[in-house]
Each structure stands twice: as C-alpha cells, then as structure tokens.
Amino acid sequence: MAAYENVTDWTCRHCVGEADGTRFLAQVDLPHSSVRCYVAVSDRLRTLILAFTGSNLDNLRTFLTDLDIRASPWPPEAPAAWVHAGFLASTLDGAPSILVALRMHTAAYPDYEIAITGHSLGAAQAVLFTTYLVAREPTWAARLQVYTYGEPRVGNVAFAQYYTSLRVLTHRAVNRGDVVPHVPFQAWGFHHHGVEVWIRQGDGQVVVCPGTEHTACSMSLPATQWSVLDHFNYWGAVSYSRPNNFAWNIPVEQPGVVQTIRLPHNNGGTWPSTTLTH
C-alpha cells in the first residue's frame, strides 16, 4: 500500500510502472501521535499525492486511536454530524502541519490535481483531513480526489451526507470480506459515505456501488465471511508494516479479465458496465 512503502519497491502487477516519475516531497511524522503521512508528486499524472499510513502492528498508539469510538461532534459546519473520537483527534493532531506542507507544495504545482489516500486508520484520516482541508481551502475541492482502502466507518449519517455535499471525487475500495469496513457497527450509529468499489468475493469482479451502505456490495456478506487477511491484500499487494517501516509486497493476483459492474443507486437509475483487461 502506498501509505506504507517506498514506491520503488512495489512488485505487484498493477503497481509496477505506475509509480514511475513519482518523487517524495515531504513527510509529516509527529511524536506521540498516530498520524503519519507523506507528500509526493507524479509529474506523469500531474498530481500531488498525500498518503496516510494505517494502523501499525508495532505502534500501540494507533490501536488506542482505533479503540476510542466515542462520538465527537464535528465538523462545526454540520451541527448534526459526529465522528469517531479517536480518528478525529489523531487527524487534528497533524492537520495544521499537513496543511502547511500541502499549501507549500501546491503553490509549486498550482495546476496539479491533489490525490489523498490511505489504508485502514489512514483511510479514515484521509477522509477527515479532506473535510478539514475543504473548510480552509474551498477552491481546492474541484482538484481533490480521495481513494481509500479498507476504510472503517468514520461517522454518522449526518457526517456521511455532509462529506458527500463537499462534492469531492471519492472512491472507497473494499477487498472481498475485509472486516475493517464493517466496523464500527451501524447499530452504534456509524454510517459509511460513498462511493464503494468492492472487489467481489469469489470471482474478484469489481462492483461499483453509488450511495452509502449499498446492500449489493460488501454489505451483502454475512459476518461469517468477514476476513482480517482480506484487509491486507488489495489487488494482489499484500502489505504488513514492520518496526523498520519495511513492508512486504507479495504478488498473489491471477491474470485475466475483470468485469467492472456499476450498480444502480439504491433509489434507482443505472450505470453502464465496462470490461477491463489486466
């Protein structure tokens, strides 16, 4: 995963060559904090990249962040919204420093898109920082693209609706039975934002589900099919963060044709299907 590794070390089929021309610009790594990210630039894609790391197997603080599931009212622009207290506190710890770094490099690349990404805890932080960012740089919203992987639920329905109202292009990828996107539970008031991109159980087809909590995507799986291993294997890249920040990439994918199925919204409407060869 981009948020854990040196992109020059990638070996998975979909990764090799895609990072060509990507250069590291800055890292934000605050002491006594569970937020860690870096800024990079791809001249080939004309894109600045802000990538957040996820929960670290060797960093207790990240797991304490995950466990603090109290509801924190936020953002102030959405009075009915609340979010996961641990995710919010960790994001706000680093947000001012991240914003300074991003403003500096955005000034150097004024016509580049800005892609914000993260895996696991980093996915939640990516969404919360995007919300923070748009409130301070509203003219950037049209330049932003958010891609999350294995994202847990971040807040309640009101937050999901508010985030959607920002009109930031967002795709939330879920790999097969990845357990993390199913927590914290809906019964506790948590609710996903859209759009979900589900790597379907069994055949590996990619299903795009608009809206929130679409019952034809990962929500269609019973709890008996949720998997921790699926959380660490997205499109053939298996990542485990280690004490020295080295992560293994193990290509496990199979070649073939992936049918991308775009499902209708829960309230109707249809999207066309496309076929991708890899």
* CB-CB neighbours of 240 under 10 Å: 14
Among 51-55, 77-81, 124-128, 183-187, the least confident range? 51-55
| Whole-number Å distance between alpha carbons of 46 and 121 | 27
- DSSP bridge pairs for 117: 51, 147
Mean pLDDT estimate for the chain: 82
Beta bridge partners of 46: none
pTM for the full predicted model = 0.83
Q: Does the residue 1 lie in any domain?
A: no
Catalytic residue, chosen from 120, 218, 239, 241, is 120
Residue 136 located in a structural domain: yes
Residue range of the domain that includes 225: 7-277
For residue 270, which amino acid is it? T
Kindly report the CATH number assigned to the domain that includes residue 184.
Answer: 3.40.50.1820
User: What is the share, in percent, of the chain residues with pLDDT greater than 90?
Assistant: 62
Question: What mean pLDDT comes out for the span 54-60?
Answer: 63
The verdict on residue 228 lying in a domain is: yes
When pLDDT is cut at 50, 70 and 90, the band that residue 30 belongs to is confident
Check whether 179 has a pLDDT greater than 70. Answer: yes
CB within 8 Å of 47: residues ≥ 6 apart: 41, 112, 113, 114, 115, 145
From the candidates 105, 192, 193, 231, give the one annotated as an active-site residue: 231
**Three-state SS for 261?**
strand
Q: Is 178 a catalytic residue?
A: yes
Mean pLDDT of 237-255: 37
Within a domain: residue 139? yes
Catalytic-role residue among 178, 192, 218, 241: 178
Assess whether pLDDT exceeds 50 at residue 244: no
In the predicted model, what is the mean pLDDT of residues 47-65? 75
Active site residue 120: yes
Residues ≥6 apart with Cβ < 8 Å to 271: 208, 210, 262, 263, 264
Q: Is residue 81 part of a domain?
A: yes
Question: Which tens digit of pLDDT belongs to each residue from 124-146?
Answer: 999 999 999 999 999 999 999 99
- Above 80 in pLDDT, residue 271? no
As for how many domains the chain has, the answer is 1
Task: Confirm whether 2 is domain-assigned.
Answer: no
Q: What percent of the chain has pLDDT over 70?
A: 74
For 209-222, the pLDDT digits (tens) are 988 899 999 999 99
Q: Is residue 49 part of a domain?
A: yes
What pLDDT sits at residue 9? 63
The answer as to whether 179 is a domain residue is: yes
Q: Which pLDDT belongs to residue 16? A: 60
